[in-house]
Structure 1
């Protein structure tokens, strides 16, 4: 089919003799522009051909739907070759041809690209070749017009759909409306657009590095929080009234006194003696080392918190639907529903019990506050002695629990005994609370990320995790 238009001497598009300008769609176009359709600006529309032989030696390169990228480009990672006898003259591509993917999944049907390669190429029956009339439209401008129609979903309601596959009818493709500026302006538009897209691509590449930077930033801040660097200025103006070692011993004394009190009450009332829910051995305290502040110590998590796993009650989804309410119901990775009453009403730290530990990106723990219900997929830890739940969560959120887990599948389990026996830094509650309120200082520490991490590592090791593993201890 031939175009019904041609440029004048100044390169401006003007209707040829006897050509009736298509009706406008109601939107205002700049002076000298026209609203037309694809059929009027191309010389040829040709579907491709199918071939079962796709790896023929010395065959003709055969572009398929996987060779059309999402950004209007050709992707040549995998190019099939077909028998030369199947590639008829009408199937050979020329530079400047526009390839449209007219058969694909519903989301991908309509993507397009320009053919700009040297050599002999043909194309499959999933593609349709449009050969622009060079006197009417710039091939790059046509490509971007079709690309914008695809992204806008113009072809969605015009496609024929089958199972996992959709097709744009030829008539729907040719009748697609496009704005047509003068030829010289088309080229200016393409030049400007490709310049902007190059900047967009560059920005996307930089943005793709942000998640990794944020991850290293988080690691750096947590490492600083658990090594004393985050609150170094706080210690300069606040004198410690209780060292971390003294704090751990006080917590142990308070737990023994509470257990003794409950035992006496049980004897007097004739009730069953309470189960001892603290570490049976004495608190294990190590003097500060590896750069820890002098008022700090290293101890077991179980020495400064109480595990409340015995209070958990799992409720399946069907049962929860009959007990709808306003109380959050928590599992391994956060809230999973609602329920009508609560088991806990305080600040607690929940630690994953059975989940995908290996390769996990999510934190291993999180804080819950107020009334809630917890199922049996998360350990429930109550910090003691005034230790803030937020600080306990900082110590555990990205701790290397993998060596403490069991299981042979992707879903592993960390037992309660192992969970409460890991070792980590401890400090007085006042400083622990200060570390959870230092986001401005954390931002400043984040500036040192490039010097604190190894960019060549595929999965950078957690700075804090390396130190904690040296103190890890399992009973």
Structure 2
């Protein structure tokens, strides 16, 4: 938005390469009153209360409020009114872009967090949408962070920085066109962004659908027609399936309890005073369920091991049994905690990858969730898990199922990566559009078609002079009124 210093007289030039024709350089402090005085209103009036949590982050999101009486909130909170611009001044809310144009408050007045700055534009001479756009720009946010003062963790943007921040000022008529274009373009950006943000959930549901069709036999229906065969493996029939969880499978598959194909080895409790946060010789990571979710990227605990320690190798299959039950872990070497089972499955019956996909499938996950107790700390017991229904295809079909699932998952990964890249580009679009707005690029054609609305008395320099003149007149009125009050006293 320009390299002008935040001190001294701003460069007003509007020609050449500095600013578009009819524009001039100004500052926030010249265009808006920063933190105006408290509002004088009846204490019994209903008003809007805005804690920091209700301040939106996205450009077009509306400001929400709670309803309170003016007497409850006037004194202890930052006052504002409809059409003011508010934004957070404290870290990390400032960096997150918490800001809004105040609209539709009860009786048009409100108050909120003391960590808000309030910008009140000069009557009808400046568009509040223009000032709001300024505080949402990358330059304002980046330079605001660089100028913050205060202790670490509670740093704030100084008022002097806000007042002196340079603003390329368009003529009033052009401000309105810019605001309209920003509303239109950024609404389109938000629509695209919302669609892209839904893709991870869609992909997640797609993966679950793939697994559901895989373990029910639907994924390989056509394959079976060309590769039919009878399957009669020898099974341990120790466990029966709960009738509630039976489901249809192909005629040459077997539906059995998972305990008939695998035993479960529960890890041991590891005392906290024996753990360390540092890797090294003679220690291994503890396979904690929190690390199943973060991929052992952080918050990893380590412990020493001996002959009694139950250690999982990378090729082992482990499932969490307490807390967040049903998380499947494989590919890591570490100490099995008592919050998990290792599955010692019969390799003659089960393909490892097929078993993993089954454990992650909706069928298995539903059983695990419903059979882990109803307490605040779910706990899947050996006995309960042993009765989980397992659909068992012939080994050659398991191999085909794994191939097809991996192929579909690879396709889903590609879509997800492309969506993430597209979302990153879209997230940068808002700043790109704002930058174009303040370079005059969004309204270049409009200026060419309306030269009379950007020149002479309609220019930004004339507008700024009018604002300054009205401010000086108002200051003289206040001074005169103050003298009159003193005389009467």
Output the TM-score relative to the length of structure 2. Answer: 0.62
Contact 1:141 1:190 in 2 (8 A): yes
Alignment of 1:40-439 (within 5 A): 40-42=30-32, 44-49=33-38, 57=44, 59-62=45-48, 64-66=50-52, 68-71=55-58, 74-83=62-71, 93=81, 97-101=83-87, 106-108=92-94, 111-117=98-104, 120-124=107-111, 126=114, 127-133=116-122, 137-148=126-137, 152-161=141-150, 168-240=157-229, 243=231, 246-249=232-235, 252=236, 281=238, 290-309=247-266, 314=270, 318=275, 321=278, 323-324=280-281, 329-332=286-289, 334=292, 335=296, 336=300, 343-345=311-313, 347-357=315-325, 363-368=326-331, 372-386=334-348, 387-397=350-360, 398-406=365-373, 408=375, 410-439=376-405
Partner deviation per Cα, 1:100-158 (whole Å, 9 max, x = no partner)? 24665642487443345487433437355434347864331121002226872432344
Please give the alpha-carbon distance, in whole angstroms, between the structure 1 residues aligned to 2:254 and 2:367.
19
Please give the alpha-carbon distance, in whole angstroms, between the structure 1 residues aligned to 2:102 and 2:276.
60
Measured at CA, do residues 50 and 437 of structure 1 come closer, stay the same or move farther in structure 2, by a change above 3 Å? farther
Contact 1:99 1:114 in 2 (8 A): yes
Contact 2:149 2:158 in 1 (8 A): yes
Please give the alpha-carbon distance, in whole angstroms, between the structure 2 residues aligned to 1:129 and 1:284.
65
Deviation at 1:381, TM superposition (A): 0.5
Please give the alpha-carbon distance, in whole angstroms, between the structure 2 residues aligned to 1:414 and 1:400.
10
1:455 match: none
Partner deviation per Cα, 1:197-247 (whole Å, 9 max, x = no partner)? 11122234334543443343233212111110111122122243x50xx22
Please give the alpha-carbon distance, in whole angstroms, between the structure 2 residues aligned to 1:79 and 1:156.
32
Measured at CA, do residues 391 and 445 of structure 1 come closer, stay the same or move farther in structure 2, by a change above 3 Å? same
Partner deviation per Cα, 1:25-52 (whole Å, 9 max, x = no partner)? xxx644435443112223x44435399x
Greater strand proportion: 1
Measured at CA, do residues 339 and 85 of structure 1 come closer, stay the same or move farther in structure 2, by a change above 3 Å? closer
1:274 match: none
Greater helix proportion: 2
Contact 1:98 1:143 in 2 (8 A): no
Please give the alpha-carbon distance, in whole angstroms, between the structure 1 residues aligned to 2:163 and 2:336.
60
Measured at CA, do residues 298 and 46 of structure 1 come closer, stay the same or move farther in structure 2, by a change above 3 Å? closer
Query: Secondary structure at 1:201's aligned position in 2?
Result: helix
What are structure 1's unaligned runs of at least 5 residues? 1-18, 253-278, 358-362, 447-475
Query: Secondary structure at 1:400's aligned position in 2?
Result: helix
Query: Secondary structure at 1:436's aligned position in 2?
Result: helix
Measured at CA, do residues 195 and 322 of structure 1 come closer, stay the same or move farther in structure 2, by a change above 3 Å? closer
Please give the alpha-carbon distance, in whole angstroms, between the structure 2 residues aligned to 1:117 and 1:329.
54
Contact 1:364 1:399 in 2 (8 A): no
What are structure 2's unaligned runs of at least 5 residues? 1-7, 413-489
Please give the alpha-carbon distance, in whole angstroms, between the structure 1 residues aligned to 2:221 and 2:407.
11
